[in-house]
Amino acid sequence: MDTGHTAAQGREGAARARPARRSPAPHERQRDAERTKARILDAAVQVFSAKGFDGARVSEIAERAGVNQQLISYYFGGKQGLYRETGRRWRAYEAEAVPDDLDLAEQVRRSVRASVDPCFGGRLLAWEGLADTGQDDEEAQERNARLRYEAERIRERQQAGEIDGGIDPAALMLIAVSAGNALAVYPHLARGLFGADAVSPGLVDHYARQLAQVLTRPAAGHPAARCAPGPRT
């Protein structure tokens, strides 16, 4: 029996049975690239949130994302570009999750919930403040313009009697941003005060409602103020 001939026939049959390999289509490559970039961004937010920009290592981000370190340079141009992209992703998410046409109370509640989302990292804002160099670069100018816009929105609400007009809109904006990120920035204080983990859904919802109530007190004489209950005795 010619075993060599039989084996060759078997290999040929198996080769015919297997589907021929093909190169991935452009849309498949794009989809894979987007998934890879998303994994890198998720990992970057976690590492940047825990260690800040200076303390974060590209190698750790790559390891956490399960990718080759060189892909961070390929997709984002390095650590600085990756950090900027995390900020852009946060702003895009915030614009979608907290649109301008919501009433202020709902905006506050949604902002608190977004701040503790580990995929976006409210702690990044605190790290940026600690590392602030006072440089007025393009990114800082964009942030300042956004803050001034939000402060002007508060002024409009004050003029409409929705919020107490006795507070400087810029001061109220800073208070709102700081308090809105408190659970993410001060989890140890929240745990000590409330006896619960700062990211537990029950505490997040409770704190969001309480903060909204504090920040949205209407001006004296406004119909909503006249309907508000008085202090308990």
What is the tens place of the pLDDT at every residue in 137-163?
777 788 888 889 989 999 998 898 888
- Count the neighbouring beta carbons within 10 Å of the beta carbon of residue 102: 13
Q: What is the pLDDT of residues 69-102, one digit of tens each?
A: 999 999 999 999 999 898 888 888 888 888 888 8
What's the CA angle centered on 168, arms 165 and 172, to 5 degrees? 95
Q: Where are the domains of the chain?
A: 31-97, 100-128+145-219
C-alpha–C-alpha distance, residues 121 and 229, integer Å: 36
Q: What is the pLDDT of residues 8-54, one digit of tens each?
A: 555 555 555 555 555 556 555 677 889 999 999 999 988 998 888 88
Angle between the N-to-C axes of helices 187-194 and 201-215, in degrees from 0 to 180, rounded to the nearest 10: 90
Nearest to 212 by CA among 123, 103, 124, 117: 103
Angle between the N-to-C axes of helices 123-130 and 26-55, in degrees from 0 to 180, rounded to the nearest 10: 50
The first and second tokens of residue 98, run together, are 């907290």
Which pTM does this prediction carry?
0.70
Q: Which fold has domain 31-97?
A: Arc Repressor Mutant, subunit A (1.10.10)
C-alpha–C-alpha distance, residues 211 and 209, integer Å: 6
